[in-house]
Amino acid sequence: AYTRKMYFHNLNRLKFGNLFIFELVFRLSFSIFFCRMLSLS
């Protein structure tokens, strides 16, 4: 039971880490896209 609990804890931490990285990349690409739109207009 202890190992299963640790496994799920690591799984949740990994999932949240992936979400954090995904949000970081999304904001970065969005800001770059916004700057390109501003420079084009």
Spell out the domain ranges in the chain.
1-41
Complete DSSP assignment for 12-26: HHHHHHHHHHHHHHH
pLDDT value for 1:
61
- Give which of 24, 5, 33 is closest to 13, Cα–Cα: 5
pLDDT value for 32:
95
Q: Can you give the pLDDT of all 41 residues of the chain as single tens digits?
A: 678 888 888 888 888 888 888 999 999 999 999 999 999 87
* CA dist list (Å): 5 to 11, 16, 41: 10, 17, 54
pLDDT value for 35:
93
pLDDT value for 10:
87
pLDDT value for 24:
93
pLDDT value for 17:
83
Q: To 5 degrees, how large is the angle CA 27–CA 15–CA 5?
A: 160
Distance between CA atoms of residues 41 and 33, nearest Å: 13
